Amino acid sequence: MIKPYSITGIGSMPQLDPSAACEMVLKYFDIPFWPQMPKISFRELMIPQFSEGLPGVVIEGDKIYVKYDEENIMEWLSNYREDEESPISEDFAIALYKISELLKKEKVDIFKGQITGPMTFTLSLRDEEGKPVYFNETYREVCLLHLKAKAKWQINFLKKFSKEVIIFIDEPILQAIGTSTYISVDQQEAARLINDIALFIKQVGAFVGLHCCGRGDWREILNYHLDILSFDAYFFFELFKIYKEEIKNFIDEKNGYIAWGFIPTTDDLKSLGDDEILNKAKTNITELSREIPALEEKSIITPSCGMGSLDESDAERVCRLLRKLQSLL
């Protein structure tokens, strides 16, 4: 499916021109993806982008919240079908349509899409009182169904120009589960929600990855129903490598891939030279590959997170560093 050390991206890009962002993706990435464009519109941010069509959601300028209407929610649930698809319009994902135009003449072998995960979505989206919608059990389930409908539509859309599709579930908030901020959030419920949408994505016919750019509970996450685990290897490699047995089982038993975010998208990018970044990455992955030889066949290279907060020159440097690291490995 995926060649060793293939390069893909996490999602967001810094350009104000969607064509320029798409052209950069197609120039540098072996597994292209559609760029999220947060500098163009508030609607391109990861919560608003997948909120379109959700009952009760209100977007006012650069503010988003949910206004509960029980009758509306019950009607939405009664009309929901197992084969439901919820489109992502051009107003919410302009580069998705731009890159589809660029690729419409010939199918690519594999293409990556992304969706905000149910934990990040429900803990970030808030009601009128400022309370995360996660704590409304009915609405939490509505959000899960809504995201599944978004994922299904996206997979079918991407299959128009790609032979295979990967969908990354973006879950940055997993780093906070279990901390004092979310002490009341149940780990088992987090696993249920993520596994539910992951299995659904597989049933629809795509490969599924999960991206967490923080410090995750890797033992737990490696047991999710995933094909790819993507994480910030630049900052969290030392914590990740502790779980050698779980990593080995994920690769050997689940035929899983690890997507290494070795190229930083933070201020470290400006303070470090190319050789410092590349040598650190090569040393780390070479070290772990000695103990888990299958890693050499089951590794993908990515930026540590999305590039939407960078300036365009730094984003291009990240892309060049990904190519250099691929050559080294």
Residue scoring higher pLDDT (90 or 175)? 90
Q: What is the rounded distance in angstroms from the CA atom of residue 275 to the CA atom of residue 19? A: 31
Q: What is the rounded distance in angstroms from the CA atom of residue 57 to the CA atom of residue 53? A: 8
Beta bridge partners, 98, equal none
- Average pLDDT of the chain? 95
Give per-residue pLDDT as tens, 313-325. 999 999 999 999 9
CB burial readout 113-131, b (16+ within 10 A) else e: bbbbbbbbbbbbbbbeeee
Region at 205 (left for phi over 0; alpha for psi -120 to 50; beta for the rest): left
Which residue, chain included where needed, has tokens 């509970």? 217
Q: What is the rounded distance in angstroms from the CA atom of residue 193 to the CA atom of residue 287? A: 34
pLDDT at 155: 98
Beta bridge partners, 299, equal 258
CA distances from 215 to 12, 175, 221, 248, 266 (A): 20, 5, 11, 19, 15
Q: What is the rounded distance in angstroms from the CA atom of residue 4 to the CA atom of residue 299? A: 6
DSSP three-state, residue 231: strand
Does residue 1 register a pLDDT over 80?
no
Q: What is the rounded distance in angstroms from the CA atom of residue 34 to the CA atom of residue 95? A: 6
Task: Give, in words, the CATH class of 6-328.
Answer: alpha beta
Instruction: Give the whole-number percent of the chain exceeding pLDDT 70.
Output: 100
Does residue 28 register a pLDDT over 80?
yes
Does residue 109 register a pLDDT over 80?
yes
Q: What is the pTM of this model?
A: 0.96
pLDDT at 182: 82
Q: What is the rounded distance in angstroms from the CA atom of residue 260 to the CA atom of residue 299? A: 7
Q: What is the rounded distance in angstroms from the CA atom of residue 47 to the CA atom of residue 221? A: 22
Does residue 70 register a pLDDT over 80?
yes
Both structure tokens of 210: 């999960």
Give per-residue pLDDT as tens, 132-154. 999 999 999 999 999 999 999 99
Hey, how many other C-beta atoms are within 10 angstroms of the C-beta on 103?
19
Is residue 30 a contact partner of residue 6, using CB atoms and an 8 Å limit?
A: yes
Q: What is the 3-state secondary structure (H, E, C) of 26-84?
A: HHHCCECECCECCCCCHHHCCCHHHCCCCCCEEEECCEEEECCCHHHHHHHHHHCCCCC
Q: What is the rounded distance in angstroms from the CA atom of residue 152 to the CA atom of residue 268? A: 37
pLDDT at 292: 95
Task: Sort strands 6-7 and 57-60 into parallel, antiparallel or unpaired.
Answer: unpaired
**In the chain, where the domains are located:** 6-328
What does 101-149 look like in DSSP terms, one character per residue?
HHHTTS-EEEEEEEEE-HHHHHHHSBBTTS-BGGGSHHHHHHHHHHHHH
CA distances from 114 to 96, 158, 220 (A): 11, 11, 21
Question: Which residues, 6+ apart, have CB-to-CB distance to 175 below 8 Å?
Answer: 212, 213, 214, 215, 216
Does residue 65 register a pLDDT over 90?
yes
pLDDT at 77: 96
Q: Lowest-pLDDT range, 83-92, 103-112, 195-204?
A: 103-112
pLDDT class of 260 with cuts at 50, 70, 90: very high
pLDDT class of 85 with cuts at 50, 70, 90: very high
